[in-house]
Structure formats: structure tokens, C-alpha cells
Structure 1
Amino acid sequence: MGRSFRFVILGGGVSAGYAALEFVRLGIPAGDLCIITDEAVAPYERPALSKGFLLPEGAVRLPAFHTCVGVGAERLTARWYKEHGIELLLNTQVVSVDLKRQTLLTSAKETIAYLTLIVATGARVLRLEEFGVTGADARNIFYLRNLHDATKLVEAMQSCSGGKAVVIGGGYIGMECAAALVSNGVHVTMVFPESHCIARLFTPQIATFYEDYYTRRGVVFVKGTVMSTFESDIDGKVAAVVLKDGTRLPADLVVVGVGIRPNTTLLEGQLTMEKGGIKVNGKMRTSNSTVYAVGDVAAFPLKMYGDVRRLEHVDHARKSAAHAVESIMHPERAKDYDYLPYFYSRVFSLSWQFFGDNSGECLLFGDLKSEKFGAYWVDRGRLVGAFLEGGSKSEYAALAVVARKRPMVEDVQLLAGQGIKFALALCEATSSDSLVSTMAATDDERGAMAAVASDLLQHSGFKVGAGIVVAVAVSWVAYWYGRKKWRK
């Protein structure tokens, strides 16, 4: 027994939803696409689990965060897939993939054939059992990766108000879960081996700001160590977490966020692997011409840095999926994937965004005490990364422009002194909307804008490309000509 489709998406996470929307936008006929997922619901925005689902008040629930609401697009409920003739196989586990025969076999012994396969299997959480931790299967130990995990954690928090939780791991999930626990009235201790939180991105100075903020909310940090074992009660539940140095931390529940691993098992030995994932080219195509890989599982060429990376973030999951579909449907016009790394987080009243790369020297700007500050990273004389806490929509957009353009830097102290003003000025100079905003301004405002542009292009210590200078000049000439016409 089996069925066949022109396109099959293996996996039902964020990437699957965005790929489906792109297929529909490009006019895929009904009956051509099948999505296979072991989850019980249609694809949803996974970040909502830690940023909204766990909140004690105003918590989000499905169908509110089905894809693709993360970018303000349509909300793809199960009904949407049916209306567009897309086969959505829920609660379906694929046990094997045969790339030579172009088939997938489900646990129900059904064979699904395809012409083109998109691998969107995402990643799985690393569990403590894999590290040989005794008692790691206790029912009051929680992970957060999918809707089922989030639902269990919510139930545990609601029954544990005033109790104690230990969060193991100081990355994104650990920090966001700790914030949710505190918001639910749970006392939190965080344990991680690094010297500071989110060590893969934050510098010690940046991390100190967030750790101090959490400390004021009652979170206790135990850094530079790892857990050794659990103490259990007579019911088999964790009663305490014992650290490597013998420290005992009482716990009513434990949340673990120690990393994830790409789900590549079904494809190993059949596709070329790299960086722990499936190697793809700039079109997201794998070593097999009929197979594409997207999201967490794809090791792709990061064009702007000239290397291969595997990124675990929702923004890449969305964009790589759409890019793969365009490459499949219109290979003649699809360009190579040119992705700008982007990460963000929202906890308590805080919100930060990061663009680019965090290599080289980090230059802080702003006031950490005011809860609005940022940083630039300069590597070999070039600005390669930008971070901002508490920014506005336009300020974050400006950071993205700076991180993509990567201007040369001659005076790092001047850059730190200019801070976000530098990004805003460069964004204004390169924006396609700069002419419109200039024409709408008063004479005094135009004079101020001209001064900013002049300072940027001549005195800031940055080597801005000739193209930017030309763009600014053209804008001013167009303004002058248009104003002259309007006065006639």
C-alpha cells in the first residue's frame, strides 16, 4: 500500500509551514504536496513555546501561532492545508528513507513515493540519559522542544507556584524558561558550566547585564560547574540536584536545556554530511539532486563569510525553506542563498536582536544601566556584527543594514562613541526610501540630515563605498529637481 506525490516535506516544524506557503504562492497544483510529521498538529511557530505559551497571563495557544504568523503572513491551520490540496500526515513517523527508490516508509508500513524531497526534520533535544545521568527519567524533569513538552511544563509550573526549580543550561532555552518560571511564581536556580550565560554569543560584559537583571528577579546563578546526579523521593521524583562539587540544590521540578542535535539519522550514509548536518549548496540542494534540506538540519554555504555553517534559529528555518522552494520551482531564476545571521530573544521586559557575526573585537555602546545598549563587533578592520537591547523597529532595521554591508572601520573608539547613530546614518544613506523622507522634511530637517550624511561620508572614520556616496548624491539631485518642478 502506498501513495506518491510530486513533492514531499519530511518534518512538520517551522520550515515545513513556510515551505508550504511558498509552494502555494508559486502556484503548486492541488495534490502535488505532502507534509509528514510525527506531531499531532499542523506546523507552528516554535519560538512561541518559550516566549508566549509558558506565560501565566495572556499566554498564547493554538491556533494563534500556527505558521506563518511569525512574519505577518497567513495563519496556516489544518483547514488551510486541506483547502489548498496539501496532504498533511499528522502523527506519522517515518522509519526509513530510500533515496535510490525515492520512497519513505512509515511506522504503519505505508510507502510514500516522491519526485522531490525536502528534509525539514529539525533537531531533537539532548537528554540527560545520553550523558549517563542516573535518575534522568524522573517525571518532574522537563525539556522544551515541541507543543507536548510545553503543555507538560505549563501543568508542572501551575502546580509548583512557590516551589523551587533548577534549570540546567545557560543558553537561549535555559534563560527563556527561567524567565517563564519566575513569572509563574517559581524560585529558580540556574546551573551551567560556562562562565556566563549565552556564552556562544554574549561577551562577559553583556552577559553580566542579563544575569544582574535575573538576579534582581530572584534567580540564583551557579556557574562554572555541572550536575552530577539526582536525589529522588519515594515516588521516584527528583527531590534535589547534586552538583559535581557536592552542592545540593532542592528541586520540585527540573528544566533541562543543554542543546540539540540535528535529526539526520534517516539520511546518514545516503547524503553528504558536514558540521553535524546535511551538506547543501546555495540552492539548498543536497548531494542527491532530488533532495533538499532546510532549517536546523542544513549545513549551508554562508555566502557573506565564505564558510559553511549550520544555524539553529527560526529566521533561518523560515528563509531557507522559502529559498529551497523557489530553487525547486524556478531553478533558472533562483540565486544562491545569501543569508544574514540573525538571533533574538524576549524575556521579562527585555528584548534584544543580533545580526551578523560575533568574531573579533566587541565594542559596547550606550548605557547598560538604562536597559538600552548595544555592541558592534569589528574583525580585521571590518564591522561584522551588531547587537542591541531595547531598540526600536527602525534601529533594529539599521543594524541589519550595517551587518550586511560590513563597512571598514578606521577608528573603533569613534564607532563606539557614535553607537546606534552610526547604524541609523548608514541606513538612511543607503535606504531606497531616503529620497521620499528627504522631500517630506522641512528645510531645517534636510539640513540636519545633510550634516549627518556629510559627517558619515567624510569625517566618521569609516570607508564607505563609492556606491553609497553616489546614492546620496542622486537623492539630493532628484530632490532639487523635483522641488524646482513643483515650484513652477
Structure 2
Amino acid sequence: MGRAFVYVVLGGGVAAGYAALEFARRGGYSRGELCIISEEAVAPYERPALSKGYLLPEDPSRLPKFHTCVGANDELLTTKWYKEQGIELVLGTRVISADVRRKTLLTATGETISYKTLIIATGARALKLEEFGISGSDAANICYLRNLEDADKLVNAMSSCSGGNAVVIGGGYIGMECAAALVTNKIKVTMVFPEKHCMGRLFTEKIAEYYESYYTSKGVTFTKGTVLTSFEKDSTGKVSFYSKLGVLCNSTLC
């Protein structure tokens, strides 16, 4: 026998947090009838903080400061708030299948959770380098940034790599913000991206030139119009070189 709810929100990201706030405001449910199922171990939070204040070496932003719905200058939905509202958080739980006919969900632990109304709010995920056929992308010191676990790994990498080198792949929002955080943590940064300039989908060439000049003044090196092809790992399983357009570059990833 598993648990049963009237309303189930599948996914514990920003959408789930804001949905919970709407339920609480509008009512229409009783205590214990609504739950949020999340693979993460914490209540829904605002992800933008992960590439900003969370990466600072001094006075970093930490939970509960950026739980939803602080992004809308509204209530801070901490674990305590969910308990007070009678909303159950089913955290650290991965759903592996859904039977929409029987209205049941099966978790990785074998538990069946039934519902009457299902709200799917699973969001997106970070693309992995191996999906682009880049060899060596399973190296131990390659970091992504999508969730709290990713951010913690990056923070640990930066703390052990002060004075070292890092490569940031991508010249968009996350890439630019991570580069700034790495420099703030006293790490030398090379940014690699295929576009002609940073923030290609938003910035004009002139605006991009301003930001690239500012970043360069802080020690960031730009390698533009370049597609990464592979990584070379050392004996410890960490990246020691990366290849771009067939050129082997001596620059380590933190």
C-alpha cells in the first residue's frame, strides 16, 4: 500500500513552489490532500541564486534565503511554511513511471503514490557534454550548474582550486555569471563558446564588446567562435587538457 493524495505536484522546482502558494491562497484543499514530489532533498527554491550569491567566497547566499517565492517578493516558502499549510513535501524521491489510467506514480523505492489530479512541473535539466559526443566528458572535475547539488560541487571545486585555472564552456547568462564567480574566487578563467560574442542571443556586438572588455580587465580570456571537441584526463581522472578544433590547449578545469 502506498500513499494517496487528491493533488500531486510532480517536480520540486520553482513552478511547484509558486503552485503551492496559489493553492494556499485559493484554498480548496484540506490538510494532507496536497503533496509535492521532488528528487531534490530541499523544498523548492529560486535557481538564479545558484550562479550568483551562492558562489561568492565571502558571505555566500544560502538556504533558506532563496526558497520560493522570494523572487516575487512574496512569502518565503520554507519547510515550516509547507507544514503550516498542510502541504506534504515528499523529498529525495524519484518517480520512475506514471500510470495515468490508474492515476498512480511509481517511485524508485517501489512505493506507489496515487492521486486524483496531477500537476507535472518537472522543469528542464542541464545538457551533458556526452550528449554532444565530446570524449572525456566524464572527468571528475567537470561541473554543471542546475541545482543545489551542482552548486555545492562547484563551490568545493573552487575552494580547492584557488590560484588555478578553469574553463567555462558557454557564453550565455550562466557562463558569464560563473566566470565572474570563478574570478572572484581568484581562479583564472578561459571562456569557450561558438558564437561571435558573449550573450549572442541578447547582446548586440557593441554591448557584448563592453562586457568582454570588462571581463578581460579582470583576467578572463575569451576563445570565441570555437567548438570544444574533447577532453584529456590525467591519471587521477581529472581534465588536464581540452581540445578545440583539433588544437590541444594546456588549461585545466576546476
Pair 1:198 & 2:218 matched: no
The change in CA–CA distance for 1:252 and 1:225 in structure 2 (over 3 A counts) is closer
* Partner in structure 2 of residue 21 of structure 1: 21
Give the whole-Å Cα distance in 2 for the aligned partners of 1:205 and 1:10.
Answer: 43
Q: What code does the residue aligned with 1:186 have?
A: I
Q: How does 1:85-234 map onto structure 2 within 5 Å?
A: 85-234=86-235
Q: What code does the residue aligned with 2:5 have?
A: F
Give the whole-Å Cα distance in 2 for the aligned partners of 1:17 and 1:87.
Answer: 12
Give the whole-Å Cα distance in 1 for the aligned partners of 2:84 and 2:130.
Answer: 43
Give the whole-Å Cα distance in 1 for the aligned partners of 2:85 and 2:179.
Answer: 40
Pair 1:6 & 2:6 matched: yes
Give the whole-Å Cα distance in 1 for the aligned partners of 2:43 and 2:210.
Answer: 38
Give the whole-Å Cα distance in 2 for the aligned partners of 1:252 and 1:76.
Answer: 36
Q: Offset of 1:13 from its aligned partner?
A: 0.6
Larger radius of gyration: 1
Q: What are structure 1's unaligned runs of at least 5 residues?
A: 254-488
Matched residue of 1:214: which SS? Answer: helix
Give the whole-Å Cα distance in 1 for the aligned partners of 2:54 and 2:169.
Answer: 20
So what's the TM-score if we normalise by structure 1?
0.51
Give the whole-Å Cα distance in 2 for the aligned partners of 1:21 and 1:228.
Answer: 45
Matched residue of 1:124: which SS? Answer: coil
Indicate if the aligned counterparts of 1:4 and 1:112 stay in contact, CA closer than 8 A.
Answer: yes
Q: Offset of 1:3 from its aligned partner?
A: 2.1
Give the whole-Å Cα distance in 2 for the aligned partners of 1:200 and 1:142.
Answer: 23
Residue-by-residue CA offset, 1:281-305 (whole Å, 9 max, x unaligned): xxxxxxxxxxxxxxxxxxxxxxxxx
Q: How does 1:2-401 map onto structure 2 within 5 Å?
A: 2-27=2-27, 28-253=29-254
Indicate if the aligned counterparts of 2:14 and 2:45 stay in contact, CA closer than 8 A.
Answer: yes
Residue-by-residue CA offset, 1:337-392 (whole Å, 9 max, x unaligned): xxxxxxxxxxxxxxxxxxxxxxxxxxxxxxxxxxxxxxxxxxxxxxxxxxxxxxxx
Q: What code does the residue aligned with 1:83 have?
A: E
Residue-by-residue CA offset, 1:220-275 (whole Å, 9 max, x unaligned): 1000011121122111110111111414141142xxxxxxxxxxxxxxxxxxxxxx
Give the whole-Å Cα distance in 1 for the aligned partners of 2:33 and 2:46.
Answer: 24
Give the whole-Å Cα distance in 2 for the aligned partners of 1:245 and 1:167.
Answer: 18
Q: How does 1:390-469 map onto structure 2 within 5 Å?
A: none
Residue-by-residue CA offset, 1:26-57 (whole Å, 9 max, x unaligned): 12321221100000111111111001100112
The change in CA–CA distance for 1:249 and 1:173 in structure 2 (over 3 A counts) is farther
Indicate if the aligned counterparts of 2:144 and 2:150 stay in contact, CA closer than 8 A.
Answer: yes
Give the whole-Å Cα distance in 2 for the aligned partners of 1:92 and 1:104.
Answer: 11
Give the whole-Å Cα distance in 1 for the aligned partners of 2:146 and 2:61.
Answer: 16
Give the whole-Å Cα distance in 2 for the aligned partners of 1:155 and 1:204.
Answer: 35
Matched residue of 2:9: which SS? Answer: strand
Count matched residues. Answer: 253
CA RMSD of aligned residues (A): 1.2
Percentage identity across aligned positions? 65
The answer to which structure, 1 or 2, has the higher relative contact order (CA under 8 A, 6+ apart) is 2
Indicate if the aligned counterparts of 1:93 and 1:107 stay in contact, CA closer than 8 A.
Answer: yes
Residue-by-residue CA offset, 1:135-183 (whole Å, 9 max, x unaligned): 1111110000000000010011011111110011111111110110011
Matched residue of 2:5: which SS? Answer: strand
1 or 2, which has the higher helix percentage?
1
Indicate if the aligned counterparts of 1:166 and 1:249 stay in contact, CA closer than 8 A.
Answer: no
Q: What code does the residue aligned with 1:61 have?
A: R
Indicate if the aligned counterparts of 2:169 and 2:191 stay in contact, CA closer than 8 A.
Answer: yes
Q: What code does the residue aligned with 1:143 have?
A: Y
